Amino acid sequence: MLSVWSLIVAIVAVLSGCSESLFSPRTPTVLTMWHVYGGQTDSPMNRLVERFNQSVGQKEGILVNVTSVFTAPDIHFALVAAAKKHPGAADLPDIFTTYPKTPYAIDPELFMDWKEHLSEVELQEYVPSFVSEGEINGRLLLLPVAKSSNALFINATIFDQFSRETGVRYEDLATWEGMFQAAKRYYEWSGGKAFYKYDDWILYGMLNTVALGGEFFKDQKINLQDESFRNVWKQLASSAIDGEVCSLAGYATTAMMTGEVLCGISSTASILYFKDTVTFPDNTTIPLRLAVLPPPYFKDGRRLTLQRGVGLGMLKTSKEKERAAVIFARWLTDVDNNVPFVRETGYFPVKNSAYQHFQKNDFKYESENYQALHAAIQKIHATYEFYIPPFFENYGEVEKQFSAAHIELFKKYQRKRDSADKAVLIQEMLSKLESDMK
């Protein structure tokens, strides 16, 4: 017979073995995944997942299976439909990337808390604002994987010639005061072309209002009476009336690649959509070489830039799947894996130590454009504050309404610039905006 001590040792050994053998390479634990990085057939995240499956995943007995790739806006609605079991909705994946509004729409209490699996020491390795964006009521529901911000993309092919002939420098574009002056010079130099475009005009108002100490949102509406907002907005309106702002709808990347504008303020991730050439309306082309700078700021304001991007989430499930997800998440955000991924996609790495890796010269960038972008990313991380827009239910509607109103205002009042006093036109524009935003 076994002694009592031998029996205890045997039981402990069995229990210990059970706790460490949740996974088996022969019958791997499968995690289905939805994400937003790239397309279904050509995705940097898919390639990263494959690397995990062939290395740590194979060793640990974990298989991550990407079942769908969505656009950033669409994944929220797909996840909500799946969680609420809407007719025709797909099955909810085990892990997914999404925005903070998704847990609110589903139920935050149903989400796994990453803090229950990652130590405080581990979490301190992450950029603090990246972590806080995924927290709801003190629980970390969305773990940062990669974040984006805004950057100023410039067609260096044309700008260099413009600079030589006018004396306008890249350094002048660091501030909005410099941008407005450069826009005037470019309008004259180019024979009447717009200088710049913002992907989301609401961000121009929001970031600069807050940076100057104002209150952009009040009671879930845009505070059009705020003094700081009116100050920055009137300067934009003046530039628009003079024809210096692109009035086309759509993204700045498109306007730059058709020669409509010289520069644009877009998401850092928009680097993925730039082509190597500019094709003008008459089908002539020139090479597109990019210069990339941090977004402009007003001299009297803080250097504030948008923080955006999804996080990795999971609904509460079995211990086995939760532990598998944690192993995958640790690997995904490890500097050695995270830095190559963000370098390829135009995102910010999520750990503070990762920014030192950008300074290494042994990395071969896909192009000089990517190298210019990541030099800007380093500057943004080192010298700017990240700003997270407030969340409220109809934020998306307000954003669309504000941007659409500006496109119409720009188009309408550019045609009136010679018909009335500019101050009168600016006041008319402001009154029309107030009417449109009611």
**Has residue 332 got a pLDDT over 80?**
yes
Band the pLDDT of 9: cuts 50, 70, 90: very low
pLDDT the model gives residue 23: 67
Average pLDDT on 311-335 reads: 97
The C-alpha angle 200, 202, 204, rounded to 5 degrees, equals 85
User: Looking at the predicted structure, is the pLDDT value of residue 221 above 70?
Assistant: yes
Confidence of residue 392 (pLDDT cuts 50, 70, 90): confident
Q: Is 433 strand, coil or helix?
A: helix
Pairing of strands 95-98, 29-35: parallel
Q: Which residue has the tokens 């024979």?
A: 191
Over 60: is that where the pLDDT of 117 sits? yes
CATH topology for 23-147+309-360? D-Maltodextrin-Binding Protein; domain 2 (3.40.190)
What is the model's pLDDT at position 359? 63
Report the pLDDT value the prediction gives residue 42, as an integer from 0 to 100. 76
Residue 177 to residues 49, 143, 189: CA-CA distances in angstroms? Answer: 45, 38, 19
Evaluate if residue 147 carries a pLDDT over 70: yes
More confident residue, 86 or 416: 86
What is the distance between the alpha carbons of residues 239 and 248, in angstroms, rounded to a whole number? 15
- pLDDT > 70: percent of the chain: 92
**pLDDT score recorded for residue 11:** 38
Report yes or no: 294 and 316 within 8 Å, Cβ to Cβ: no
Locus of tokens 């009035």:
247
**Residue linked to tokens 């990453």:** 114
Same CATH topology for 23-147+309-360 and 150-306+386-436: the answer is yes
Q: Which of 367, 362, 395 is nearest to 100 (CA)?
A: 395
pLDDT of residue 114: 98
397's CB contacts (< 8 A; 6+ apart) are: none
Torsion from C-alpha of 308, 314, 315, 316, nearest 10 degrees: -130
263 phi and psi angles, rounded to 5 deg: -150, 160
* 383 or 14, greater pLDDT: 383
Domain boundaries, the chain: 23-147+309-360, 150-306+386-436
Amino acid at position 185, single letter: R
Name which residue leads in pLDDT, 12 or 91: 91
Pick the CATH number of 150-306+386-436 from 3.40.50.300, 3.40.190.10, 3.40.109.10, 1.10.10.10: 3.40.190.10
Rg of the chain in Å (alpha carbons): 25
Q: How many CB atoms lie within 10 A of CB 175?
A: 17
Closest CA to 259 of 246, 269, 249, 272: 246
291: β partners = 154
Measured over the CA atoms of residue 165, residue 168, residue 169 and residue 173, the dihedral's sign is negative
Hey, what are 437's tokens? 């935003």
pLDDT value at residue 140: 98
pLDDT at 429 over 80: yes
Instruction: Flag whether pLDDT at 349 surpasses 60.
Output: yes
State how far the alpha carbon of 304 is from the alpha carbons of 175, 201, 268, 291, in Å. Answer: 12, 15, 15, 20
State the average pLDDT for the chain: 91
Span 258-270, mean pLDDT?
95
User: How much is the average pLDDT of 134-152?
Assistant: 96
